[in-house]
A = this chain, B = another copy of it.
Amino acid sequence: MFESFNPTPRVLMGPGPSNVSPRVLGALARPTVGHLDPQFIGLMDEIKQLLQYAFCTKNEFTIALSAPGSAGMEACIVNLLEPNDKVIVCINGVFGNRLKESVERVGAQAIVVEDKWGTPVSVEKVADTLAAHPDAKALAFVHAETSTGTRSDAKSLCQLAKQYDVLTIVDAVTSLGGSELRVDEWGIDAIYSGSQKCLSCVPGISPVSFSDKAVETLKQRKTKVPSWFLDQSLVMDYWSGEGKRSYHHTAPVNSLYALHESLVILKQEGLEQAWQRHTQLHKTLHEGLSHLGINFLVDEAYRLPQLNSVIIPNHVNDAEVRATLLNKYNLEIGAGLGQLAGKTWRIGLMGTTAQEQNIALLLAALKDVLR
């Protein structure tokens, strides 16, 4: 009655997961070893160094959290905030909303800065809000909004926050490995990402990094972190370099093999080269879509190369087109999310997916389906 699952392979051009390379799938399937095996501890040390490379940081606390990006988000919130803290939260898409939701669930107060979906977080509005609330503990925003394909100016936002000595919490789920992101240079205090976007690893892991200031904030808490699983002061003792590692939970051993391999691939290509590849292929895609008369949601200056929100042409059946692409071409693109559902498609060009051959296939398939 129940049989082994053998999925039809797809070309994954949605908002993630992106295509996982045979090298990463090969690493994933290596024999499981214990989470305290010296071999595995050595692997964890390498993952830490490779994540520091990918994040452009020297942060000692740089780890791979054992759950998806949304748990990485929650880890930043629950470790750094306490009830009644004031937090400036920027919302210009689904994932900014999620930050607000998470902030409020720990009993902190969210001061919301709202911008239109498809536009970046307004640096001016944030400046005004910081001036009005200089006692805020943190500024939280999304660097690369996966729901709209918009890049916000993380560097300027973090510089502003520094002027008020306010912590910065940054969602880099879709930016890490795909566009410029410099944690130390920009002064980001807490950042989280996902394994399944521009790193092209399997879904389920969240890279996280805390600055020394963030770690100090965690250590100085007056209340316990409300989540035991996400309490990073406990997780630190498992990931820390010195001496014996203390058990917290059983690490997702094989997923970490895969993350390591995807980071080795990134290091081999070079981080800036990877950013450049995403930009270049985005241009190719943009040109091709223009020929088909398909327009972008976001202004050119703020477009994410790895996540292209395009406006669904008039008189086109959204669900039908996506189903045909999937069934006839084994090609997945993403639906619009939230208030953009039915209005946009999200075309991912992330990590391994960002290749000429995939763009050619998508353009040919779209031409066929839309004619």
Question: Which residues on A are within 8 Å of B, measured CB to CB?
Answer: 1-10, 12, 14, 16-17, 19-20, 23, 25-35, 37-40, 43, 46, 49-50, 66-71, 73-74, 78, 98, 101-102, 104-106, 194, 196, 202-204, 224-229, 247-255, 257-258, 260-261, 263-264, 267, 326, 332, 337
- 26 CB contacts below 8 A, A to B, read A5-B46, A5-B260, A7-B40, A9-B33, A12-B32, A12-B34, A14-B34, A19-B32, A20-B32, A20-B254, A25-B29, A25-B32, A28-B254, A35-B203, A38-B326, A67-B67, A67-B68, A67-B229, A70-B229, A74-B228, A74-B229, A105-B224, A105-B228, A204-B204, A204-B254, A247-B337
Least CB distance from A243 to B in Å reads 13
A111 to B198, CA, bound (A): 47
A74 & B227 in contact (Cβ 8 Å cutoff):
yes
Number of copies: 2
A2 & B250 in contact (Cβ 8 Å cutoff):
no
For the residues of A in contact with B, the DSSP-based class is: loop
Contacts of A67 in B (CB 8 A): 66-68, 71, 229
Contacts of A106 in B (CB 8 A): 226
Query: Which one, B202, B248, B251, contacts A254 given CB within 8 A?
Result: B202
Instruction: Report the nearest B residue to A247, measured CB to CB.
Output: B337
A5 & B257 in contact (Cβ 8 Å cutoff):
yes
Least CB distance from A181 to B in Å reads 20
A34 & B17 in contact (Cβ 8 Å cutoff):
yes
Known: A4-B23, A101-B228, A228-B102. A255 touches B257 (CB 8 A): no
A6 to B30, CA, bound (A): 7
* A43, A204, A255, most chain B CB atoms within 10 A: A204
